[in-house]
Amino acid sequence: TILIIFALVNFTNAKTKAAEHNGRVENKNFHILRLDDRLDKIVDEKAVVSKIAEGFVFAEGPVWDRRSQRLLLSDVRDNKIYELKDNVLNTFLDPVFEGEMPNGMRNVSANGLTFNADGDLVIAEHGYRRISSISVNGKKSILASKKDGRRFNSPNDLVFDSRGNLYFTDPPYGLEGYDSSKIKEIPYNGIYKLTREGDVFLLDSQLTRPNGVALSPDEKTLYVANSDKKNKVIMRYNLVGNHVTQTEIFFDANHLKSRGMPDGLKVDYFGNVFATGPGGVLVLSPEGDHLGTIRTGEITANVAWGQPQDNNRCNSNTLIMTASTSVYACKLLTTGCVP
């Protein structure tokens, strides 16, 4: 398991931001906002949010690597991917994008991370504007970089279904000028399905800032966060084949005035959605009711399920949260699946 709090320590060839302390230390800026009694079956009244790493520029894309027993995460403003293993933080990939910043780009790092069934790390890359992978033996491959001959904007977040199909979002965050970018080749900001055979299907082109993405337990529903300060919503799509048949707002966060936007998402075994957003991590019922918020004290960008219990990949009761400069963990009463 991951130790709950860290201090600084130096390691060779690593920008280290973690060291172990004895015991569990509560984050002083943390508390749980409870809005519904149903939250008591998900987050214990005595639950503690604990800092497990710090010092990042902007931490994102957490994913638990069950084969190597480590947490990987990206720093989207530092062009690196880190690994946290046995309470030690080291650099996993530095740099993600090699060379000078290309003309017209404002961010060249990795963002969302996940694993496929073969154990390959799959990466949403801003700088190369593609979905790529790194195999267990270190081989790098390009999975998708274009739709109908036009380069993606800057792929952001991604999730696999059980059949090996990948769903991902493509907002313009990596492009200088965003939608007015001179190097933007696709006129919209899309949500896509990349099939296991390598075909790319457009699912939706209507969201202004599609970002975090997650699947319901039965894989019939796709959730997508829209990180637009003018339209802070989480959408729900009914999936049928390579298309969506129904689109609706799952949760409207426009009334929430705390800092943060809808961003990374994860779903537990029962269909509850853990969605980063204004104020922290919003806990939403399968019907879209806001049950409460887990607050880290920082703008929280993404979430992941941590180390599973008993080596069962769908028995993780630890929620990992990347929040600006830090990474936090919280034990829950529910469980979810790691890739």
Sign of CA dihedral 225, 226, 227, 229: negative
pLDDT of residue 158: 99
Give which of 259, 167, 241 is closest to 210, Cα–Cα. 167
Q: How far is CA 179 from the centre of its chain?
A: 23
Are residues 317 and 307 in contact, defined by beta-carbon separation less than 8 angstroms? no
Give which of 334, 322, 260, 337 is closest to 57, Cα–Cα. 322
For the chain, give every domain's residue range: 32-336
3-state DSSP call for residue 206? Answer: coil
Q: Which own/partner pairs from 217-221 qualify as long-range (CB within 8 Å, at least 24 positions apart)?
A: 217/267, 217/269, 217/270, 217/271, 219/161, 219/162
pLDDT of residue 27: 53
Bridge partners of 336, per DSSP, are 316
Global pTM? Answer: 0.92
pLDDT of residue 277: 98
Sign of CA dihedral 225, 226, 232, 237: negative
3-state DSSP call for residue 37? Answer: helix
pLDDT of residue 102: 94
Q: How many CB atoms lie within 10 A of CB 68?
A: 12
CATH fit for domain 32-336, picks 2.120.10.30, 2.40.128.260, 3.40.50.300, 3.10.310.30: 2.120.10.30
Per-residue pLDDT tens listing for the chain (339 residues) = 223 333 322 222 333 445 333 233 445 557 899 999 999 999 999 999 999 999 999 999 999 999 999 999 999 999 999 999 998 999 999 999 999 999 999 999 999 999 999 999 999 999 999 999 999 999 999 999 999 999 999 999 999 999 999 999 999 999 999 999 999 999 999 999 999 999 999 999 999 999 999 999 999 999 999 999 999 999 999 999 999 999 999 999 999 999 999 999 999 999 999 999 999 999 999 999 999 999 999 999 999 999 999 989 999 999 999 999 999 999 999 999 999
The contacts of residue 287 (CB under 8 Å, 6+ apart) are none
